Amino acid sequence: MNLRSILIICIAIAMQSLQAQAPQDWFHLDSKADGYNGVSSDKAYKELLSEMKSTTVIVAVIDSGVDTEHEDLAPVMWVNKDEVPGNGIDDDNNGYIDDIHGWNFIGGKNGNVNKDTYEATRVYKKLKAVYGDMDGSKLKGKKKAKYDFYLKVKEEVESKRENASTQLASLSATETMIYGALEALGTALGDKPLTKENVEALDGSSNEQVAIAQNILGRLYAEGEEVGTIKDIKEEVATQIGEGGDYYKAQVDFAYNPDFNPRTIIGDDYSNSYEKGYGNNDYEGPDAFHGTHVSGIIAAARNNNIGMNGVANNVQIMTLRAVPDGDERDKDVANAIIYAVDNGASIINMSFGKGYSWDKVAVDKAVKYACKKDVLLVHAAGNAAQNNDTAENYPRDEYFKKNGKPKGKYASNWMEIGALSWKDGADLPATFSNYGKKNVDVFAPGVAIYSTIPDNEYRNAQGTSMAAPVVAGVAAMLRSYFPALSAEQTKSILMSSSVKTMDKVNVPGEDDMKPFSSLSVSGGIVNAYTAVLKAKSVKGTKKMK
């Protein structure tokens, strides 16, 4: 990508105006009554559940950490009543000391993992130690196949790291270019105000920097932007380019750097995926934005006149920190699932994913354990605008053999969630959302989702990471008001009661339109109102204590 292209993109992002947006609570709303494709949770509470009693349901959030003291989350945090806070003793003998609200699987006695590599980088490093000095032309059979796989991963990691390094340098040059152009524009304008007429009246033919500034401002004026002053534009550009620079620098220094290994801070035996007891009880960690946002969507205290409402109203959030700034590790995910199951979770939300798996079998064993214990797993489908039927995406519900080959058997307690835009018609699916007629179960709101973030604040965020907790919240609603429903029955109800549409939509990542029903197994949108109606007619099969 050349500098001019980057310049245009940066400016477009930096000065993007606030377009017409949906209400902050749109994901709760009803398509017919309110005009938005939310999950009709408010309608369900008002019309179907107001006279019904509910039981408390624990939802485990495996994520980056949670601000347990947030004003809208503190009342709904799970508390391990068998543990005495702060006494340094494992009172309940579960292997975790002072685990009051959950556990942090990516921390140790000396701190927490923040940045980490991508799984592709770890796989590359592992394979390089074996195949790095081999002559592939002399290999045959399985060894040749593994060598070819090594070359594939090597190309991916090294090319992406090189690209990130190039983009980092380009952004710096772009910033210099933009600043120079804006300063030249200011000089050319003199005392004249920064208006469309004054900018267009300048002669840019003899001054390339003025011409660049006219190009920038011309695009903004054409889009109806309120550009403010030259100083305002500089500040916006600095912010956006700074964020882009941070992103690419992290890819170079951490994500795609095979020599970076933060795991030593944990102090575990990483080669043993079945090791227990490592970690610490720092539930928030270095950056709890993602996990706090996810938790609020599920269960922020409803109707307390603070901030926002979660989907479910009688839920306790168990926080399990296992997702760094980078890819999660299979060992931590497996242990987090087992912890959640052993400590009473009925639903586990997993808003993370990656293109490779280090130890799929270990995760599979944890998923099978959750299935045996009747726990529903809700997983985000991913934000690569890809077809999950043909692309690799982990973790996933298909079980693998020890040799890394799929078994062709699937977890019946697993739901894979795509993201929905608040827009109608062709723009219904989020532009970034993964999809798949076989491997994505259902869609839910995942764009412009307003929820809790650390330090008693709130913000919009988007991703299938936001769609998954919407579904987890509706699932919690069902298991709370209909406690006899099993995990499999809950999944079945959510899918069969999903709202269908045969409208053709833009397929994410493609220049193509297909019926929305072709993007997932159910072909629909999760809906709390229709799900509750369905649940009322279903006899639960869960064995009640």
In angstroms, what CA-CA distances link 374 with 221, 320, 347, 481, 528? 57, 19, 9, 17, 21
Beta carbons of 380 and 394 less than 8 angstroms apart: no
DSSP state of 489: H
In angstroms, what CA-CA distances link 239 with 8, 44, 370? 15, 42, 44
pLDDT in tens, 448-468: 999 999 999 999 999 999 999
What whole-number distance in Å separates Cα of residue 103 and Cα of residue 250? Answer: 26
Beta carbons of 475 and 44 less than 8 angstroms apart: no
Beta carbons of 333 and 447 less than 8 angstroms apart: no
Query: Three-state SS for 370?
Result: helix
Q: Which domains does the chain have, with CATH numbers?
A: 37-114+269-535 (3.40.50.200), 121-255 (no CATH)
Beta carbons of 426 and 513 less than 8 angstroms apart: yes
pTM over 0.85, yes/no? yes
What whole-number distance in Å separates Cα of residue 349 and Cα of residue 366? Answer: 14
The predicted pLDDT at position 343 comes to 97
DSSP state of 297: H
The DSSP annotation for 267-293 comes to ---TT-TT--S-SBS-SS-S--HHHHH
The DSSP annotation for 112-174 comes to E--B---HHHHHHHHHHHHHTT--GGG--HHHHHHHHHHHHHHHHHHHHHHHHHHHHHHHHHH
Task: List, in order, residues 6 or more apart from 414 with CB less than 8 Å away.
Answer: 367, 377, 379, 397, 491
The predicted pLDDT at position 222 comes to 75
The predicted pLDDT at position 17 comes to 36
The predicted pLDDT at position 20 comes to 55
DSSP state of 359: -
What whole-number distance in Å separates Cα of residue 464 and Cα of residue 434? Answer: 8
State the pairing for strand pair 376-380/347-350: parallel
The predicted pLDDT at position 10 comes to 53
The predicted pLDDT at position 111 comes to 96
What whole-number distance in Å separates Cα of residue 148 and Cα of residue 438? Answer: 28
In angstroms, what CA-CA distances link 434 with 341, 379, 399, 510? 28, 12, 20, 11
Upstream peptide bond of 445 is cis (omega within 30 degrees of 0): no
Beta carbons of 419 and 467 less than 8 angstroms apart: yes
List the beta bridge partners of residue 62.
320, 350
What whole-number distance in Å separates Cα of residue 493 and Cα of residue 483? Answer: 14
Tokens representing 135 are 């002559």
**Nearest alpha carbon to residue 195 among 170, 174, 214, 172:** 214
List the beta bridge partners of residue 514.
505
The predicted pLDDT at position 1 comes to 44
Q: Residue holding tokens 């485990």? A: 60
Beta carbons of 420 and 446 less than 8 angstroms apart: yes
List the beta bridge partners of residue 380.
417
Task: List, in order, residues 6 or more apart from 310 with CB less than 8 Å away.
Answer: 72, 76, 296, 297, 298, 299, 300, 301, 302, 473
**What are the residue ranges in the chain where pLDDT is below 70?**
1-20, 223-226, 544-545
What whole-number distance in Å separates Cα of residue 115 and Cα of residue 330? Answer: 16
Tally of CB atoms within 10 A around 70: 27
